[in-house]
Amino acid sequence: MSDRIPVQIVEIAEPSTFKKKPASSDRQIHTRSFTGLFRNLRLAGAGFLFLLFFGTVWLNWGGRQAVLWDLADSKFHIFGATFWPQDFILLSALLIICAFGLFAITVFAGRVWCGYTCPQSSWTWIFMWCEKITEGERNQRIKLDAAPWSLNKLARRSAKHTLWLGISLLTGLTFVGYFTPIRPLAEELFTLQLGGVSLFWILFFTGATYINAGWLREAVCMHMCPYARFQSVMFDKDTLTVAYDPARGESRGPRKKEIDHKAKGLGDCIDCHMCVQVCPTGIDIRDGLQMECIGCAACIDACDSIMDKMGYARGLVGYKSEHTLQGGTTNWLRPRLLGYVTALVVMIGALVIALQQRPMVSMDVIKDRGLFRENNAGQIENIYTLKVINKTQQAQHYRLRLLDAEGFELHGKTEFSLAAGEMSDLPVSVAMLAERPQSSSQDISFELIDTDEPGIRSVAHSRFVAPLNR
């Protein structure tokens, strides 16, 4: 009993400098306007993506919409290429490549996808800009929220929501325009002649955009997006994240520019809360890495502007790794990152090869439900339907034959033409020349060859059924 270690209860008081952060649902986030390098990068990237999204849908290619997922005809047009449901594996490969690309960029630099290119973030920034031009800067918006209803408040709020709804309607129309030709769709919408399924989906995506970017905003990133939940699993000590340098910033506190803050035991952080005021999710980056941080770097721009005014070096808040914050150096070439990049390069190469070798003619064989029949010549005959698709952008002429099928004869239309992107059902029959079959079921193969471009061909396999006893 003499070896027992006595236990002493110690009460730890919470420092007064750290205050409990209220939940986002308990407060309205009003962001402050700011400028800076990362804001300019985000504007340039978002501008390019908006131009791509809103502009591509209006382009024409070869007499049709350049990019159109035609669900009614099961065709997917992407400029000069047409894809069919048989090419779904290529879409799956593209989605896997995008996932690995997201993993690689997350390991390297955290949530830059969320901060710079995520549609939720991009549309939220647009809606926040609408707030600024209709309701004023941050302090004006806070006062307007607290003010009683008046004609001025009603006019400003009405202008804001009108802009929100206009952008949402344009977004919904554009999105549906990738699945239904945009020009007749827009004409019918603005002449109030649109109805049915198209109208439903336009209104659905209009409402979704208005609610997500206008009302939910950071709640989507913090509570609905799964990426925020598993991002920490992908980080390592060399991942670049938006971080505050406490070794340089503490102890924080206000001061005049002229004083020697080091002599007074102060760090470079003047506790101005600018980093909090510009944050779209309302967090304090000085509390460390948080799930709510979307990596938009708004706090970096805001802090750098304050450092410039104070005459301090930039970078108090910046893209830093855990190793850097601990006084070490970032290891750029690490196994996890190299693994993701290698897998990404291999998959992109495989997809390029698959696209280049994609068969430009597709043929599927459907055997008739009847097992067999006897034709006028007394031969056993099977009936087939060949579903042929011309995947090129030009009319093609084809020749059909049996491949390595000695003892069988093909009857029906063996030469035919298909227009660009045309699909046709071709009925044919195969007769057995031998009087007695070797077995009740034998393999046969159909070969389709483009007469002008022999490299374009397709082979499909089926079975020939015959009675053993006649």
Cβ burial of 199 (10 Å; 0-12, 13-18, 19+) is: middle
Do residues 285 and 244 make contact, with C-beta atoms less than 8 angstroms apart?
yes
pLDDT number for residue 20: 43
What Å distances lie between residue 114 and 181, 291, 346, 364, CA to CA? 30, 12, 25, 43
- Global pTM value: 0.83
Do residues 363 and 404 make contact, with C-beta atoms less than 8 angstroms apart?
no
What Å distances lie between residue 188 and 41, 196, 199, 344, 400, CA to CA? 38, 12, 10, 43, 45
How would you list the strands of the sheet with 415-418, edge to edge?
Answer: 415-418, 396-402, 441-450, 457-465
What Å distances lie between residue 57 and 68, 77, 84, 93, 277, CA to CA? 8, 11, 20, 24, 37
What's the token pair of residue 429? 């029959």
What's the token pair of residue 2? 């003499």
The residues near 78 (Cβ < 8 Å, ≥ 6 apart) are 66, 67
Q: Is 110 left (phi over 0), alpha (psi -120 to 50) or beta?
A: left
H-helix or E-strand spanning residue 432: strand 423-432
Q: Which of 174, 176, 161 is nearest to 211 (CA)?
A: 161
Domains of the chain: 21-56+110-327 (no CATH), 361-465 (2.60.40.10)
Q: Which of 146, 125, 144 is nearest to 134 (CA)?
A: 144
Do residues 419 and 441 make contact, with C-beta atoms less than 8 angstroms apart?
no
The strand pairing partners of 319, in sequence order, are: 242
∠ at Cα 344 (338, 349), nearest 5°?
130
Q: Which of 176, 88, 101, 165 is nearest to 134 (CA)?
A: 165
Alpha carbon distance 280, 125 (integer Å)? 8
pLDDT number for residue 227: 82
Residue listed under structure tokens 């941080």: 293
pLDDT number for residue 7: 42
Strand 408-412 and strand 423-432: the pairing is antiparallel
Q: Which of 324, 317, 300 is nearest to 238 (CA)?
A: 324
Per-residue pLDDT of the chain (470 residues; tens, 9 = 90+): 444 444 444 343 343 333 444 444 456 899 999 999 999 999 999 999 999 999 999 999 988 899 999 988 888 999 988 888 888 899 899 999 999 999 999 999 999 999 999 999 999 999 999 999 999 999 999 999 999 999 999 999 999 999 999 999 999 999 999 999 999 999 999 999 998 899 999 999 999 999 999 999 989 988 888 887 777 788 899 999 999 999 999 999 999 999 999 999 999 999 999 999 999 999 999 999 888 899 999 999 999 999 999 999 999 999 999 999 998 999 988 999 999 999 999 999 999 999 988 889 999 999 998 889 999 888 999 999 999 999 888 899 999 999 988 889 999 999 999 998 889 999 999 999 987 787 888 999 999 999 989 889 999 999 999 987 76
pLDDT number for residue 371: 83
pLDDT number for residue 9: 44
Alpha carbon distance 370, 73 (integer Å)? 29
